A and B are shown apart, each in its own frame.
Chain A
Amino acid sequence: MRTANPRSIVIWSLVALVGASGWTVLALSRDEEVSAAWMVAAALGSYAIAYRFYSKFIVNRVLKVDKNRATPAERLDNGIDFHPTDRRVLLGHHFAAIAGAGPLVGPVLAAQMGYLPGTIWIIVGVIFAGAVQDMVVLFFSTRRDGKSLGQMAREEIGPFGGAAALLAAFAIMIILLGVLALVIVNALADSPWGTFSIAMTIPIALFMGFYLRILRPGRVSEVSLIGIALLLLALVAGRWVAESSLAETFTLAPSTLVIWLVAYGFIASILPVWMLLAPRDYLSTFMKIGTILLLAIGVVVTLPTLKMDPVTDFASRGDGPVFAGSLFPFVFITIACGALSGFHALISSGTTPKMIQKETQVRMIGYGSMLMESSVAVMALVAASIIDPGLYFAMNAPAGVIGDNVQAASQAVAGFGYSISPEDLAQAAKNVEESSLLSRTGGAPTLAVGVSEIFSKVTGGSMKAFWYHFAIMFEALFILTALDAGTRVGRFMLQDMLGNVYKPFKRVSWKPGLIITSAVVTGLWGYFLWVGVHEPLGGINQLFPIFGISNQLLAAVALAVCTTLLVKSGRLKWAWITGIPLAWDATVTLTASWQKVFSSDPRVGFFKQRSVYQDAIDDGKILPPAKTMEDMRTVVTNSTVDGVLSAALALLIVIVIADAARICVKHIRNPRSSKLSEAEYVESKLTVPAGLIPTQEEKAELAAAKAKVSGDAKAPS
């Protein structure tokens, strides 16, 4: 029995007290405004305790990480993709790879249920599900030379489950890209400032690309500095353009933006990587880390007051305007990134395992990065909850519900049980120099308003418009990068699948194949984007739940693989570590799909919706929010596609889980029948700390190792 020293008992009791007081205030406050400080306290206190105790328990007792076992980075070091990377660098790498627009969008939309359900799910979800998934996948992939999730599913579960997992990953990619593009369109529509600034990122990226390719190869930091300076210039210039005669050129209708985006996505994905993708990625990484730091400082310095209710009536009634359905299960699929995100499994099982120095570092990289992403989601929730709820609903309800002028919107908001005057709505738009903020669905504009509120408190009120557009640009930047990169990944998967039918497709350099598959992938997500923009019921309202379901479906695949591996590697006793999150995730996702398919509420169930509108068409009637017969037919088509898609996704998840369960049962019955494809044991020669700050013991080891091999001291401490 170990004994804890008194000092650490005192410290951890204090941390627990901070977290507990945060939760208490959040949970007990009714009808009074609460400071965001309590949300921050609840989050940070819980993260600290989870990291210190739960993640340590998992790495030591369950995974039994071995600091003497060489990682693929050490064994297969080739100086390029496999190389032992300093843990602090890898933390930045991994975090920049997992955190994107996701943790910023989901929490904003989920704020319609109030801030409390979202906060609880983000914090509890990350501790017991999201961070665990990221860390365990990272660990198992590290033990398998950095194999991808798909490969692990195929090898450890079987070809059937593996194929289902692959198909799911492809479907998810398409829906993700469609929804992300829709978020951009909603933010940039009729906004010359935003459209100009974003358009300018293309020449800036091209310039950076040529600089790195021709002028000074590899000088990334200097070109990124130039790029960021140009980016800020483009942002400032956006205002001049919006006030000049050029404004009209950059004032684009949503359907025009769709065409531009699809064309951009197609061209960008067939251009060489160095031209657009690589430089844009540098820009968005710097912007991402910089803005997130700024936002964290802004929230802590200003400690704004939460104006949203802790729990709104929509949570139980399920008739919210942002997305339909009640708290369970829809909050848990709306907030994916930040709590539990299947996509992370693709990062944890691809790039990162090839760079990690020590198995012991999976805790800091896998669990730690995910806690950081979760805190980004908490900040997004803060940003959405500090703006006037009336404004929040006017911005996030579909146009069909809210109308197209401030008077109608004000009335519609009153119908939801909140109030905002038409003057205030007009003023809010004027503050950020937009023609209108009504129905700017998708989360990004709402977040931008919240961010501008926080930042302008620090920099003075006159900067509101600048910060709003800064936030829009920051999100649009990495969504555009995601469109390009995602189209390439989707294409790669498609080439691989088609290669089984017609060989040349497998050769990624085969130009016709490249163009065909690029066109197919862009066409597919372009379809969802087009549908989303023209959906009378609101694109985000209809599509976001499917996106959430598909992302959580991928998480179910990842957790099923983890659970199977825990069982197969003789850790049956600990299978609940990922088994319980899997059960929860499956329950949530399947309930959501069930409701989306079978619910008798036409707002929730796609097929019910379809039949209601079809019956009306047969009777020659037009149901609001549709305005024409054409709209009616659009609703019928879309709800059919969405319903079939929800059902198909649910079917895939059931297949993967059933196949994984079969393997687990088989292993338990006859442990010797199953084989584990783990890489061989090689002793590690590296001496590196496990966590951010080396312990006393590690310091002594480092000193001893240094004395043994003097010289080769490259990395400064």
Chain B
Amino acid sequence: MTWVLRGLRWVRWYTRELTDESAYDRYVAHKRKTHPGASVPSRREFERMRTDQQESDPRQGFRCC
């Protein structure tokens, strides 16, 4: 059973990474490491910031034909 669980965990990890669902956790970890004292945005604020960024430069994340 353990390999089934491991497989499922891997799929979960992969989808979270692929869809960038893990972006917030990654950002927080990065911020904590580089600026330990600084305040961290809430998830809501962070996700808004991310879409705003995509808005201002649509070439980010552009897909091909």
Binding site for B on A (CB under 8 A): 77-81, 83, 85-86, 88-89, 92-93, 96-102, 148, 176, 180, 212-213, 217-221, 224, 272-274, 277-278, 281-282, 285, 337, 341, 343-344, 346-347, 350-351, 478, 481-482, 485-486, 488-489, 491-492, 508-509, 551, 714-716
Contact = CB atoms under 8 A, between A and B. Distances in A.
Given A273-B55, A716-B9, A346 B17 contact: no
B44 A343 contact: no
B13 to A, nearest CB: 6
Interface of B: 6, 9-10, 12-21, 23-24, 26-27, 29-31, 43-44, 46-48, 50-51, 53-65
B63 A83 contact: no
Given A213-B47, A341-B65, 5 more contacts: A83-B26, A93-B18, A100-B64, A218-B43, A350-B62
A485 B14 CA distance: 25
Determine which residue in B29, B57, B61 has the highest number of CB atoms from chain A within 10 A of its CB, and name it: B61
Contacts of B18: 89, 92-93, 96, 285
A77 B50 CA distance: 16
B19 A77 contact: no
Contact of B58 (A148, A344, A492): A492
A77 B57 CA distance: 19
A220 B54 CA distance: 16
A423 B30 CA distance: 66
Given A101-B65, A343-B64, A509 B10 contact: no
A92 B29 contact: no
Contacts of A281: 61, 63
Contacts of B9: 716
B58 to A, nearest CB: 4
Contacts of B17: 85-86, 89
DSSP class of A's interface residues: helix, strand, loop or mixed? helix
Contact of B19 (A273, A285, A478): A285
Contacts of B50: 80
5 contacts: A83-B26, A89-B17, A273-B55, A482-B63, A485-B58
A489 B61 CA distance: 11
Nearest to B17: A89
Contacts of B61: 97, 281, 351
A97 B62 contact: yes
Given A79-B30, A285-B19, A92 B14 contact: yes
Given A83-B26, A85-B17, A221-B19, A346 B65 contact: no
A485 B56 contact: no
A85 B14 CA distance: 11
B30 A346 contact: no
Determine which residue in A80, A93, A97, A488 has the highest number of CB atoms from chain B within 10 A of its CB, and name it: A80
Given A220-B21, A221-B19, A485-B58, A272 B51 contact: yes
B58 A341 contact: no
DSSP class of B's interface residues: helix, strand, loop or mixed? helix
A220 B65 CA distance: 23
A652 B44 CA distance: 46
A530 to B, nearest CB: 20
A272 B53 CA distance: 11
A346 B61 CA distance: 10
Nearest to B13: A716
A93 B17 CA distance: 9
Nearest to B54: A273
Contacts of B56: 508-509
A212 B6 CA distance: 28
Nearest to A176: B65
A100 B21 CA distance: 22
B59 A489 contact: yes
B30 A219 contact: no
Contacts of A481: 63
Contacts of B12: 221
Determine which residue in B13, B30, B59 has the highest number of CB atoms from chain A within 10 A of its CB, and name it: B59
B47 A212 contact: yes
A224 B19 contact: yes
A491 B58 contact: yes
Contacts of A492: 57-59
A282 B63 contact: no
A148 B59 CA distance: 10
B8 to A, nearest CB: 11
A485 B62 CA distance: 7
A218 B14 contact: no
A89 B14 contact: yes
Contact of A99 (B15, B44, B64): B64
Given A88-B14, A220-B19, A285-B19, A344 B30 contact: no
A221 B31 contact: no
Which 5 pairs from chain A and chain B are nearest by CB? Answer: A79-B30, A488-B58, A102-B65, A220-B19, A220-B21
Contact of A482 (B20, B46, B60, B65): B65
A80 B53 CA distance: 10
Contacts of B65: 100-102, 176, 180, 337, 341, 343, 482, 551
A79 B63 contact: no
Nearest to B56: A508
A494 B48 CA distance: 26
